[in-house]
Every structure is written in C-alpha cells, then in structure tokens.
Amino acid sequence: MTPRPELTIVMPVRNEGLNLRIMLKILSAVVDVSHEVLVVVDQQDDASVPVVEAISPTYARLAVVHNTHGRGILNALRAGVGAAQGRYILIFAADEVGPVLAIDDMIALMQHGCDFVSCTRYAHGGRRLGGSLVGGLLSRLANWLFCRLSGCRLTDATTGIKMFRPALFETLHLEARPVGWAVAFEMGIKAQLAGLRLGEVPIVSIDRLYGGKSTFALGPWTAEYLRWFVWGLRQSMRLQRNTPREVMVRIPSATAMGGKVRM
C-alpha cells in the first residue's frame, strides 16, 4: 500500500499550460515532504491536461481531477479536497511563484498545532508585486480595514494560498459565488470566526510572472468581496468573544532552524 502523503497541493486551473509546466517543475524541485499535486479542471479539453499527462510519468504523484460540481474556484476546491489523500491540504495558484518558498514554513506551523495557515503579502516582510494595480490596492485596503474593524488577526485573508486539514473544509460551510478567488476571503473570515488556531507566513507574491491574462473584473469582484467583508464584520461583532486574538507567525530564515515562530 502506498503511504499517505504528508501534503496534497490542490491547484484549480483554466488553460494554464505554460504557467503550470513551470510551476510543476518548481514544486518537484522545492517541496521536500511527500506530496501529491491535484490539478483541477472544469473541462477535459483544458489546455492544462496535456501538460499534466506529459509530466506525470516523472512526477511521483500528479493527477488531473475533473470538477463536476459546477464552475468557480469553490467547486474546483470541492473536487480537489474530495480527491485528496494528504495529511494537510494546500490551496495553490499555478501563476504565483513566490508562495512555493513558504510551503515548508506553513507545514511547520501546522505541526505546531495550527488548524489553518494563510500566507500574507501585507505584514512581517511580505510583499505583492505585479497583477492589477486597482486589484492590489483594493486587496490591501480591504485587509487593513477588516483587521481594524472586526478585531480579526489574519493580515491577508484574501490570499488564495492557504493550508488546512482535510476535515476542516466541510465545517466552514463555504458559499462564495463563482467570482475570482472570493472563496479564499470567505475561508479566511470563517476560520477566524470559528476560533481556530491560526498561522501566517509572509510571502513575496508575483502575479502571473510567466504571462497569461488575469480574470480580474472590477465590478463583479468588488461586489462579491464587499459582500463577504460586510458579512464578516457583522459576524465578528456578534461573536466577538470567539474571535482569536493571536496568530502564530513563522518568519522565513536562512538559519539551520529554517525560520522562527512568534505569536
């Protein structure tokens, strides 16, 4: 029997041929723990499928998962989590290189007892480069305001790079509409409101380093993210006593210890 992998990396994609080819090579070289990569597609003729088929003979655990739940990131995550075998699940985007270097630190926080670990571009040395200027400004502002108004402590709830245990996924009762990565914001909010042990790892995020076109659309994205902002603010005020006041942060380091943890 094949041993259970330590980590499942779930990557929802849509025609990410070039980005996916490069990302899989990087993951294979950088991730030291036993892991599987599940590339989730909506259509069998997605341009990402031939890339996976070409690389899978040389990648120990790499597979395509067909999302049959309906369009959108949330349904893609349902398909990926449902097929996952790993002890931990990492949600990952094929077009972001920087977060690869945070994977070991995220696992370390899970092993320290965290239930939910999120990367951050806006604190502890994290940075965001590239991508839509308007989208970046709105993301930074939304996270800053949400932290200060709600009392929650994740400094970048909107990032799509998150790690958790498989059993946690269904308990969050996710409902985001299929608009961009709004479900990532919903997850960040609900994880905090649930009183989970939270962790953060700073990253340098470089959006779409290898090309391709972003799906960012100002109107629909703003409306859906604002919906969850208002919902989360109301819930945090109602459940203020359950909101966690501390987040375990792991700062990457060049030392032999691999990083340092602080509260």
Q: CA distances (Å), 80 to each of 9, 156, 166, 263, in order?
A: 9, 23, 10, 31
1 belongs to a structural domain: no
User: What is the mean predicted confidence (pLDDT) over 28-50?
Assistant: 95
Number of domains in the chain: 1
Residue 254 pLDDT grade (very low, low, confident, very high; cuts 50, 70, 90): very low
CA 154 to chain centre: 13
- Read off the pLDDT of residues 62-84 as tens digits, 9 standing for 90 and up: 999 999 999 999 999 999 999 99
Residue 258 pLDDT grade (very low, low, confident, very high; cuts 50, 70, 90): very low
- Read off the pLDDT of residues 188-226 as tens digits, 9 standing for 90 and up: 999 999 989 999 999 988 765 555 555 545 667 789 999
Residue 245 pLDDT grade (very low, low, confident, very high; cuts 50, 70, 90): low
Residue 91's domain is classified under what CATH number? 3.90.550.10
User: What is the mean predicted confidence (pLDDT) over 233-254?
Assistant: 75
User: What is the mean predicted confidence (pLDDT) over 227-255?
Assistant: 78
In angstroms, the first-to-last Cα distance of the chain is 40
- Residue 165 φ then ψ, to 5°: -85, 145
Q: CA distances (Å), 73 to each of 31, 163, 174, 181, in order?
A: 24, 16, 11, 6
Q: At residue 101, does pLDDT exceed 60?
A: yes
Residue 64: give the domain boundaries: 7-262
User: What is the mean predicted confidence (pLDDT) over 22-33?
Assistant: 92
Q: CA distances (Å), 208 to each of 97, 214, 236, 250, in order?
A: 8, 8, 34, 25
3-state secondary structure of 200: strand
Indicate the pairing of strand 116-120 with strand 162-164. Answer: antiparallel
Q: CA distances (Å), 161 to each of 7, 107, 110, 238, in order?
A: 14, 13, 14, 28
2 belongs to a structural domain: no
Mean pLDDT of the chain: 87
213 belongs to a structural domain: yes
Q: 213 has which bridge partners?
A: none
Distance (Å, whole) CA 77 – CA 94? 14
77 belongs to a structural domain: yes
User: What is the mean predicted confidence (pLDDT) over 139-165?
Assistant: 91
Q: At residue 252, does pLDDT exceed 90?
A: no
Give 91 or 252, the one with higher predicted confidence: 91
- Read off the pLDDT of residues 103-145 as tens digits, 9 standing for 90 and up: 999 999 999 999 999 999 999 999 888 666 777 788 899 899 9
pLDDT score recorded for residue 151: 84
Residue spans of beta strands (DSSP E) within 83-142: 88-91, 116-120, 127-129
137 belongs to a structural domain: yes
Burial class (CB in 10 A: 0-12, 13-18, 19+), 204: middle
Name the residue among 147, 109, 105 with its Cα closest to residue 233.
Answer: 147
